[in-house]
Structure 1
Amino acid sequence: MESASGSKGPGSEMGKMAAAVGSVATLATEPGEDAFRKLFRFYRQSRPGTADLGGVIDFSAAHAARGSGPGAHKVVRSPLSVSSVSEHDAHRAGLQPVSKWRAYGLEGYPGFIFIPNPFLPGYQWHWVKQCLKLYSRKPNVCNLDKHMTKEETQDLWEQSKEILRSPMFLRSLFIFLIFPTFTKKYSADHYTPFPSDLAFLSEQVAAACGFQGFHAEAGILNYYRLDSTLGIHVDRSELDHSKPLLSFSFGQSAIFLLGGLKRDEAPTAMFMHSGDIMIMSGFSRLLNHAVPRVLPNPEGERLPRCLETPLPAVLPRDSVVELCSMEDWQVCSSYLKTARVNMTVRQVLAMDQNFPLEPVEERKRDITTQSFCHLDGQNSQVKRAKTNPDS
């Protein structure tokens, strides 16, 4: 509907949104290609700022559980174990008191928890710096190790930071650093120590969600540019699937699709913004999921607003968070203006399990569970296969 002056009224926007949601629903039920892949392709080609994204759930919106948008009826509040994490320990990890967090779940996805940015203002700076500067160093392994010499991959931060400071940083090595892994590699002969600060952060988040006794043992960093995607896959490689998978997002926003046990089940789409945390446990632990789209900032090449606040100059004495120099943040911010970083943390073993004598990926690799992350298709031909956490 248009107003008398010819301008479009709110009813017109609601009509467009309803039409877009209807087309998505129709697309998912059409015969032929599986429903998940159809919607993956739809969101991969979606146009930000249009009704294409009208069906995507935004948990960060005020009173998300009461929203009127498509999919809002699925959103439910998720309880938190407030007493399991002291305010002091939360602060040590750079988190708000758990009593101030908002946590949501989705009907039909038991075990899925979404926490919109629970970080204290400025504290994301530390975790971004760790993802780009520290966790990418040796002895942690990455997908480049099979294609470059040890000297070339020894310290990717040092090799990239001068380029990242300039506007012409598209050929930085970080573009190609898709799956660096700080992990025990699921076998004793590939042991690398897990970062103590990330272990502490992960264990506080897990405890707040009711998973006391969670041990952070393995992690993966995925670096996305604006035209990167993460294909449809299931994370199966852990020996113990009863423990949750924790996912942390920093930088530009993305669309996350959470589907069912089979790909013919249409997925639910949701936004992931900087600072958001997702937990997949129980039934949701082995569901198909994917990232079809990283979204450019609608205000141009700039950081999300939550990353514009600097880290406090004074930190708690026993904080696991460290100060971030302006020199380091200049590199980080240059990168994240057109990029996104995601880190997932897992517990690999149950209390009575040991690492196998041979790497799990050699025994359990299944070509049907592979997915691909496409990097900067317009700037390079790099395409790396992802075969779950050991890739």
Structure 2
Amino acid sequence: MLLSISGSLWKHTKPNWIKGNWNCFRSINAFMMREGVESLEQKGAESEIRDQYAEDSSDSDGGVVNEFKAVFKKYKKRRPPPDFSGVIVSDVRTSSILESRLIFPEPSDITTEKEELANRLGLISLSEWRVYSFPTRPGLYLIPGLLKKEQAKIWLKRAFGYANPPNITNLTIRGKDVKTDPSLLTKALRWTTLGVEYDWNTKQYPPNGRPVPEELYQLGNLISNSLKLGDMRPDATILNYYPPKSALSPHVDKSERSNAPLISMSLGQSAVYLSGALTLSEPPIPLWLRNGDFLVMHGEQRLVYHAIPCIGPKIEKQNFETNGVEEDSMIVDYLNCSRINFTIRQVNP
């Protein structure tokens, strides 16, 4: 059953303050200050996302220079803004380190069943799926624009719907939830865990959990099989809700007990994504992740350091339009100033 948000909920959650990026930023900042934490300009929402994943990323380790941190700081800096010309886009004509191929090169590779499933999930036609790989980083795949742009609104509604109890969010540990206070959806929601729910304190998963929503299970399995990475049985998903000017520090996803790929889907504003190595001594590759892009990490790439130093720079502004419906306007305003990321996982073998 696909999750949805009722019109009455959106009526109560629509904030008057979302009139553009600056108002979006200002309201989140004011809320964080009322909660007794530092302003968004200093830490605020940024640290709330970053610190959940934080690893030891000191400047040196036994005399070895932390090359990753230097690149992270470069793109995280806002004044003056960094030079983004070195960030890789999904176009083989602009980068020598990318290889591109159609995922389904022959019509016979496309079954009616798969095509219908892709359409139900909001994905473009299988004949248009193109994957970009990195010869120096086997197991890292980028599938740009896989989700139809108009489907971002539907998936954002689901992302907010997933934040309802009994699923756990960053608000749960404060004794709050979006069901009793729907305004928290836009003001303070930063992450949601589904299925086998990751414990941010212990950095571990419990033995089992509730099933993930069927659409996430189908999405993960379809992507994994299409890339010929084997069957995937997703049993967990972590959603991150990134407000303007937030970041995610260098970290490694190593708590899953299976070797299945990690599959992420981006909604909303673009992000600079840093894909590193097994240690912080090697500089990462900077990539653009845009609305509708999928990033897949498989094999050794599951264990590399990665990070997001910035969200929504003006040169990569993503624009979404409303269809005039009140609840749709609220969704569009959120997409126009924030980013949402789904990471579909298989915890147990």
TM-score (norm 1): 0.65
Counterpart for residue 147 of structure 2: 119
SS at match of 1:249: strand
Q: Does residue 98 of structure 2 align to residue 75 of structure 1? A: yes
Q: Which amino acid aligns with 1:187?
A: P
Q: How does 1:283-362 map onto structure 2 within 5 Å? A: 283-298=300-315, 304-305=318-319, 307-308=320-321, 326-350=325-349
- Partner Cα distance (2:267, 2:342) in 1: 9
- Partner Cα distance (1:290, 1:101) in 2: 26
Counterpart for residue 138 of structure 1: 165
How much has 1:328 moved relative to structure 2?
2.9
% identity of equivalent residues: 32
Q: Which amino acid aligns with 2:158?
A: Q
Q: Which amino acid aligns with 2:188?
A: F
Counterpart for residue 69 of structure 2: 37
Q: Which amino acid aligns with 2:70?
A: K
2:87 paired residue among 56, 70, 78: 56
How much has 1:179 moved relative to structure 2?
2.2
- Partner Cα distance (2:136, 2:294) in 1: 19
Count residues in correspondence: 277
- Partner Cα distance (1:121, 1:101) in 2: 15
SS at match of 1:73: coil
Counterpart for residue 211 of structure 1: 229
- Partner Cα distance (2:327, 2:221) in 1: 27
Counterpart for residue 386 of structure 1: none
Q: Which amino acid aligns with 2:241?
A: Y
- Partner Cα distance (1:108, 1:264) in 2: 16
- Partner Cα distance (2:322, 2:140) in 1: 30
Using the TM superposition, name which of 119-128 and 103-112 deviates more: 119-128
Counterpart for residue 36 of structure 2: none
Larger radius of gyration: 1
RMSD (Å) for aligned C-alpha atoms: 2.6
SS at match of 2:83: helix
Q: Does residue 189 of structure 2 align to residue 177 of structure 1? A: yes
SS at match of 2:264: strand
- Partner Cα distance (1:275, 1:153) in 2: 28
Higher relative contact order (CA 8 A, sep 6+): 2
Q: Which amino acid aligns with 1:74?
A: I
SS at match of 1:52: coil
Q: After TM superposition, where is structure 1 displaced by more than 4 Å over at least 4 residues in a row?
A: none
**Aligned residues of 2:270 and 2:288 also touching (Cα < 8 A):** yes
- Partner Cα distance (1:75, 1:46) in 2: 28
Counterpart for residue 39 of structure 2: none
How much has 1:79 moved relative to structure 2?
5.4
SS at match of 1:207: helix
Counterpart for residue 105 of structure 1: 133
Q: Deviations over 1:173-196 (max 9, x none)?
A: 5443222101223324x6233111
**Aligned residues of 1:225 and 1:339 also touching (Cα < 8 A):** yes
Are the structure 2 counterparts of residues 339 and 121 from structure 1 closer, same or farther at C-alpha, using a change threshold of 3 Å? closer
Counterpart for residue 219 of structure 2: 201
SS at match of 1:53: coil
Counterpart for residue 121 of structure 2: 93
Counterpart for residue 247 of structure 1: 264
Unaligned runs of at least 5 residues, structure 2: 1-62, 198-204
How much has 1:101 moved relative to structure 2?
1.6
**Aligned residues of 1:78 and 1:113 also touching (Cα < 8 A):** no
Q: Which amino acid aligns with 2:96?
A: H
- Partner Cα distance (2:82, 2:246) in 1: 22
Q: Does residue 282 of structure 2 align to residue 258 of structure 1? A: no
Counterpart for residue 168 of structure 1: none
1:233 paired residue among 251, 254, 269: 251
Are the structure 2 counterparts of residues 211 and 45 from structure 1 closer, same or farther at C-alpha, using a change threshold of 3 Å? same
**Aligned residues of 1:98 and 1:208 also touching (Cα < 8 A):** no
TM-score (norm 2): 0.72
**Aligned residues of 2:102 and 2:129 also touching (Cα < 8 A):** no
